[in-house]
Amino acid sequence: MPSPLAENPGLFIRDPYRFSDAMLIIPPVLVECLQCFDGRQTDLDLRAALVRLTQDLEVGQIERHLMRTLSDAGFPHDEVFERMQADRKR
């Protein structure tokens, strides 16, 4: 019997405006955490969501990896995104 995760490997995200060429697959357990990147929530909100989802207090490595992966791909509206947008518009 196929694993449910095999049928749903996660959420595929890409930039429809093509400021970023990155394409990411966010694992199902982390999809809910994307809500923490709405510009209103803080790093502490992300950490709390990760603790709730993983049932583990040691989420620092997951938190850093998720934040770095999204930022490197230009998905949050941060300085990396600003640079990618400016480069593409040029």
pLDDT tens readout for residues 37-88: 998 999 999 999 999 999 999 999 999 999 999 999 998 888 888 888 888 8
Per-residue confidence band for 17, with pLDDT thresholds at 50, 70 and 90: confident
Overall pTM surpassing 0.85 (yes/no): no
pLDDT of the residue at 2: 52
Q: How buried is residue 31: exposed, middle or buried, by Cβ count under 10 Å (0-12/13-18/19+)?
A: middle
Residue 14's pLDDT band (boundaries 50, 70, 90)?
very high
Name the residue ranges covered by the structural domains of the chain: 4-85
1 pLDDT above the threshold of 70: no
Cβ proximity of 69 and 80 under 8 Å: no
The whole-number pLDDT of residue 4 equals: 52
